[in-house]
Amino acid sequence: EEEKNKYIRGKELGEGTYAIVYEGRLRADPTQLVAIKKIKVQKEYSDGIAPDAVREIKFLQELRHANIVRLHSVYSTRDQNLCLVLEHLPRGDLEMLIRDTAAVRYGAADIKAWMGMLCRAVAFCHDRAVLHRDIKPNNLLVAADGELKLADFGLARSCADPYRPMTANVITRWYRPPELLFGARHYTGGVDVWSVGLVFAELIIRNPYLPGNTEVEQIGLICRALGTPTEENWPGVTRLDSYTVPTDRVYPVAGRENFLGPFGTVGSDGVDLLMKTLVLDPRRRITSRAMLSHAWWHAEPRPTPIQDLPRRN
Ligand code: ADP
């Protein structure tokens, strides 16, 4: 209630699927810019935001890291909309850099720098039992100094509470791991690691790696590219609620040779790390912590210093 009076709302910065984002200034010091993200509340739920949701999101205010978009404040408005006051990051996102093939050139050292920032952010969250659950290039914002910042914890919540069943309907389809596509209700940081792997692949090929148009097609793409999940490579998978795989054939689990062609520009260590993030069985997938101690970070080339990273004009 008094939280919202701390900010002066300015012009609209952009509109997304679930939110409108405005520029804002701190009333006490108008030189301080923020972004105010007003979450659109669906009419059907117009009795308002569950106090729960506000409490849950407030928890994210504690999550402070150089590579995570700072959440300054959360409040609900009189008309029952939820407003998030965020760090102001007007330089676009990683998706814009990946897509702008005409103007933006980047190489293995730049990919290593961006991936390092992403992996540190994710490991930091996982250490605190927070899953992001919607990692994709469009949720990685670029700060003025070149720092990459993980944004949009709209779906994030603590996985520390074992009594709340988690919904499987999270994560934009292309970045969604097989356990969620199969309807697993108990999942781990592995869901984020899979998404990180797909961001890694996309940075390299500059195209979405597994762009399924439907969930069924998404599963088909995963099977063809990475292998058909079976009891042999993923014990228990066939018991998941929505386990269905293409029946025309059982695709073998992809080996190193399948990755070296399309992804070889990041070197054999890079390919090794990529393969470990895209392991079908979430229990055998690398953890975000283990990603940080991988040999790739120490292999040549060294990551580009952030101030030298390519940017859009
Ligand atoms: P989407 O993820 O679909 O782009 P968002 O609701 O996250 O939608 O954001 C909508 C737009 O608002 C973005 O495209 C961007 O232009 C702008 N925006 C989002 N977050 C920030 C921020 N922290 N600082 C500045 N602009 C932002």
Q: Lowest mean pLDDT: which of 44-48, 104-108, 175-179, 194-198?
A: 44-48
The alpha carbon of 280 and the centre of ligand 1 are apart by a number of angstroms equal to: 32
Comparison of pLDDT for 262 and 153, the residue scoring more: 262
Instruction: Examine the residue annotation and report whether 110 is marked as an active-site residue of this protein.
Output: no
User: Confidence band (pLDDT; 50, 70, 90) for 54?
Assistant: confident
What is the predicted pLDDT for the residue at 162? Answer: 47
Q: What's the gap in Å between 224 CA and the centre of ligand 1?
A: 34
User: Would the pLDDT of 20 be above 60?
Assistant: yes
User: Does residue 214 have a pLDDT over 70?
Assistant: yes
Least confident of 36-50, 144-158, 193-207, 291-305: 36-50
* pLDDT for res 17: 75
Q: Is the pLDDT of residue 222 over 80?
A: yes
pLDDT band per the 50, 70, 90 thresholds, residue 50: low
Q: What is the 3-state secondary structure (H, E, C) of the chain?
A: CCCHHHEEEEEEEEECCCEEEEEEEECCEEEEEEEEEEECCCHHHCCCCCHHHHHHHHHHHHCCCCCECCEEEEEECCCCCEEEEEECCCCCEHHHHHHCCCCCCCCHHHHHHHHHHHHHHHHHHHHCCEECCCCCHHHEEECCCCCEEECCHHHCEECCCCCCCCCCCCCCHHHCCHHHHCCCCCCCCHHHHHHHHHHHHHHHHCCCCCCCCCHHHHHHHHHHHHCCCCCCCCCCHHHCCCCCCCCCCCCCCCCHHHHHHHHHHHHHHHHHHHHHHCCCCCCCCCCHHHHHCCHHHHCCCCCCCHHHCCCCC
Say whether pLDDT at 42 is over 90. no
For residues 211-247, one letter each, b for 16 or more C-beta atoms within 10 angstroms of the residue's C-beta and e for the rest, the string is ebeebeebbbbbbebbbbbeeebbeebeebeebebee
Give the number of the atom of ligand 1 that is nearest the alpha carbon of residue 152.
Answer: 7
The answer, yes or no, to whether any atom of ligand 1 lies below 6 A from the CB of 90, is: yes
* Residues 147-192 pLDDT 10s: 999 998 655 555 545 445 555 555 689 999 999 999 999 989 999 9
Instruction: Write down the catalytic residue from 93, 134, 152, 192.
Output: 134
Tokens of 285: 């997938």
Asked whether the beta carbons of 206 and 98 are under 8 A apart, the reply is yes
Residue 26, pLDDT > 60, answer yes
- Looking at this protein, which amino acid is placed at residue 170? V
Predicted local confidence at residue 82, as pLDDT: 85
At 7 the pLDDT is: 96
Mean pLDDT of 132-153: 93
Q: Looking at mean pLDDT, say which of 54-68, 126-140, 163-177 comes out highest.
A: 126-140
Interval between CA 121 and ligand 1 midpoint (Å)? 19
Q: Average pLDDT over the chain, rounded to whole? A: 91
The ipTM of this complex is 0.95
Q: Once rounded to an integer, what is the mean pLDDT over residues 214-233?
A: 97
CA distance linking residue 173 with residue 214, whole number of Å = 8
Q: What is the mean pLDDT of residues 248-262?
A: 97
Cα angle, residue 182 at apex, residues 179 and 185 outer, rounded to 5°? 65
The reply to whether ligand 1 has any atom less than 6 angstroms from the CB of 67 is no
Report which of residues 161 and 137 the model is more confident about. 137
Confidence at residue 16, expressed as pLDDT on a 0 to 100 scale: 81
Query: Does 19 sit in the ligand 1 pocket, CB within 6 Å?
Result: yes
